[in-house]
Amino acid sequence: MEEIDNIIIHSLRQIGCDIEESVTNLSGFNTELVVEATVRCLEAIRPSLGLSTVLPVNMAARFRLGATLAQLCTELGYRGDIGYQTFLYNSEADLRRVFMFLIEKLPKESEKTVNESMSKVALLEKSVASAISQGLSIPWLPHYCHKKGFRNRGRANTSYTSVNIEVPVANVEDDYKDYYMHYLQPVPDQMQNISCFLPSIISYNARALNASSMDITECINWLNSHQSEKAAYPTAHNIVNELSKFSSDNKTQISTDSQVKQESATHSVLPDQETLKNEAKQEVEIESMKVECDSLRISIEELQNEMKKLTTRLTQATVTSHNEEKELKTSEEQKKIKARTYELLQDGSENIKKLESVIEASTNKLISLANQWEKHRLPLIMKYRQEREKHSTKANASQKKLDEIKLLKEKEKELQEECRNKDQQYSQLVAEVQKLPREVNRSAYTQRILEIINNVRKQRDEISKVLADTREIQKEINTLTGRLERSFTVVDELIFRDARTNEASRKAYKLLATLHSDCSELVSLVEETGATIREIRDLEEQIDTESAKNVGANLERITADLKQMKQETAALTAQLQSKAS
């Protein structure tokens, strides 16, 4: 970390940050120096930002400045957790990540020399290319969605606004004709503005095409016939006058059609007396047919009701028949059983003697079978107990070994991931070094990078050694546990053979079992102590990381800033009250 801090401080000094020689780590950076360094880095990456390198006195301005710096870092592509607290209440780890990111984004010296030697034409081409790339990076939108830019020029003044218009239609009912003649306004009077005329005509034309094509064709034929008589109309006012004439012609035509219909209605002939008599007869027949239909409907309803009653009776009868059949079957079975019992009761004494002899034979057979089962059962039970004890001891030992193997595998995976990450970092650094120009004097950087690489290699070698040692230790543990189990089983068998006849061997067998259990408990305690020691180390590392964040100092600074903000707000409210009074 010291090497990284030295590289960061060296690069910040090259930018123009006023860092004292006594400052060798990021822990010596105060808030003013952090803000100045970040602002200078951002100015070098994006010139003409206009940010101040001096930390303001007002707390609200400080918070705004911290928020703007965090936003600029995120826009550049910083993916970590960043905010105003990163710059105002900083910690070493967060600052190290932010400064490493900003230093990587700084322009190289070769780019600076090229920019200095560029001409005006080259600068113009560069600005045009940047503008084009910025425009291509923005998603495409239609011209009417752009509020600014050259795409909307020339279209903002020509807006398409239409109005729903009504035009008289031929061959309609009398009510519509009356409405068209007396109440409907001409088409030009329906417009709000003359600029709405053409869009309204186009919209009406589109709706008419969807509704019916005959009206549109008639209008087109009418316009074509009138165009042959008159010259073409160059302006929209002439088109308006022509359509008003067309609407007045339609009104006159509709009025003439209505008059012709009224005259034809007056000349209609009255009906004859014969037709009246026929209509009266038909009405009498219809009434008689209605009476017959009503009577038939009533009779059909009565028949349907009777059918429903009969169906319900039929279902009840079927249910009763099923029940009676079941009762009959049960009674027949009972009758058979009673007949058999009567047959047995005729020779009661002989049948009882036969049953007693059969019962005695079956009991004797059961007793003999039970004795035989006991003879076979006792050795099987003993063997089962012995096998169960052996299996339980082996299962406990195997479970412990499996737990140890899982822990070692997890450690191995973590170490392998660390090695992979370091290898990736090494390859990235080598690629970046190869991309750098050879002419620039970067001896200090290369020397430090080589030192870091050597340190990484040493750490990798040490990690591989530790992994090899752990594997060897695990192999030794496995061999020792196997020897112990085999020796225990051999001793157990030897002592167990003599335990049946000799009391001393029985005591020795008991002592051996207790010794084995105590040793297993000791091994488990040793494993538990190792696990607790590892947990203690992890907790100590977490405590070190938390203590490096300087939580207490940051809390004190936050409380002091909060008091200052309260004082500033109180002063501002007092000023506002004095101005209001």
pLDDT digits (tens, 9 = 90+) for 485-536: 888 888 888 887 777 777 787 788 788 888 888 888 888 888 888 889 888 9
Distance CA 330, CA 334 (A): 6
Q: Chain centroid to CA 507: how far?
A: 68
Please report how many Cα atoms fall inside a 13 Å half-sphere around the Cα of residue 52, on the Cβ side.
10
* 89: in domain: yes
Torsion sign across C-alpha atoms 200, 201, 202, 207:
positive
Q: Residue 563 has what pLDDT?
A: 84
Parent domain of 14:
1-105
Q: Evaluate whether 49 touches 68 at the Cβ level (below 8 Å).
A: no
Measured in degrees and rounded to the nearest 5, phi and psi for residue 137 equal -70, -25
Distance CA 560, CA 59 (A): 11
The string of DSSP letters for 398-454 reads HHHHHHHHHHHHHHHHHHHHHHHHHHHHHHHHHHHHHHS-SSS--HHHHHHHHHHHH
Q: Residue 271 has what pLDDT?
A: 43
Across the range 82-94, mean pLDDT stands at 81
Q: What is the pTM of this model?
A: 0.33
154 pLDDT more than 50: no
How would residue 211 be classed by pLDDT, with cut points 50, 70 and 90?
low
225 pLDDT more than 80: no
Across the range 446-461, mean pLDDT stands at 84
8 pLDDT more than 50: yes
* 66: in domain: yes
* 450: in domain: no
What CA–CA distances, in Å, run from 288 to 111, 284, 291, 374?
Answer: 112, 6, 5, 104
Distance CA 313, CA 47 (A): 103
What CA–CA distances, in Å, run from 326 to 211, 317, 322, 330, 335?
Answer: 76, 14, 6, 6, 14
Residue type for 103, please? Answer: I
Number of Cβ within 10 Å of residue 35's Cβ equals: 24
Q: Evaluate whether 39 touches 99 at the Cβ level (below 8 Å).
A: no
How would residue 220 be classed by pLDDT, with cut points 50, 70 and 90?
low
* 481: in domain: no
Q: Evaluate whether 242 touches 226 at the Cβ level (below 8 Å).
A: yes
* 187: in domain: no
Token pair belonging to 522 = 């000791």
Please report how many Cα atoms fall inside a 13 Å half-sphere around the Cα of residue 375, on the Cβ side.
6
* 42: in domain: yes
Q: In the chain, what percentage of residues exceed pLDDT 70? A: 79
Distance CA 378, CA 367 (A): 17
Q: Evaluate whether 187 touches 243 at the Cβ level (below 8 Å).
A: yes
Instruction: Report which DSSP code applies to 28.
Output: G
Torsion sign across C-alpha atoms 306, 308, 312, 315:
positive
CATH of residue 32: 1.10.418
Number of Cβ within 10 Å of residue 505's Cβ equals: 16
Distance CA 431, CA 427 (A): 6
* Nearest in space to 160 (alpha carbons), one of 193, 129, 112, 127: 193
Residue type for 163, please? Answer: V
Better-predicted residue by pLDDT, 248 or 197: 197
List, for residues 15-40, the tens digit of each pLDDT value: 888 888 888 888 788 888 888 888 88
Say which range, 239-243, 408-412, 475-479, has the weakest mean pLDDT: 239-243
How would residue 111 be classed by pLDDT, with cut points 50, 70 and 90?
very low
Q: Residue 246 has what pLDDT?
A: 45
Task: Give how many domains the chain has, as a whole number.
Answer: 1
Distance CA 90, CA 66 (A): 11
Say which range, 379-388, 403-412, 551-560, has the weakest mean pLDDT: 551-560
Across the range 444-466, mean pLDDT stands at 84
What CA–CA distances, in Å, run from 437 to 112, 441, 555?
Answer: 13, 9, 46
Token pair belonging to 260 = 């012709």
List, for residues 371-387, the tens digit of each pLDDT value: 888 888 888 888 888 88
Better-predicted residue by pLDDT, 241 or 279: 279
Across the range 530-543, mean pLDDT stands at 86
411 pLDDT more than 80: yes
Better-predicted residue by pLDDT, 270 or 186: 186
Q: Evaluate whether 161 touches 195 at the Cβ level (below 8 Å).
A: yes
SS (HEC) of 220-262: HHHHHHHHHHCCCCCCHHHHHHHHHHHHHHHHHHHHHHHHHHH
* 67: in domain: yes
157 pLDDT more than 70: no
Q: What's the length of the chain?
A: 581
How would residue 260 be classed by pLDDT, with cut points 50, 70 and 90?
very low
Q: Residue 143 has what pLDDT?
A: 61
243 pLDDT more than 60: no
Angle between helix axes 2-15 and 92-105 (nearest 10 degrees) is 50
- Tell me the average pLDDT of the chain: 77
Please report how many Cα atoms fall inside a 13 Å half-sphere around the Cα of residue 573, on the Cβ side.
6
Distance CA 256, CA 180 (A): 13
- Contacting residues for 419 by C-beta, under 8 A, at least 6 apart: 460, 463
Torsion sign across C-alpha atoms 371, 374, 375, 376:
positive
Q: Is 201 in a helix, a strand, or coil?
A: helix
Better-predicted residue by pLDDT, 204 or 254: 204
Q: Residue 264 has what pLDDT?
A: 42
Work out the angle at residue 384's Cα, subtended by the Cα atoms of residues 382 and 386, and round it to the nearest 5 degrees: 70
* 553: in domain: no
Work out the angle at residue 170's Cα, subtended by the Cα atoms of residues 168 and 173, and round it to the nearest 5 degrees: 95
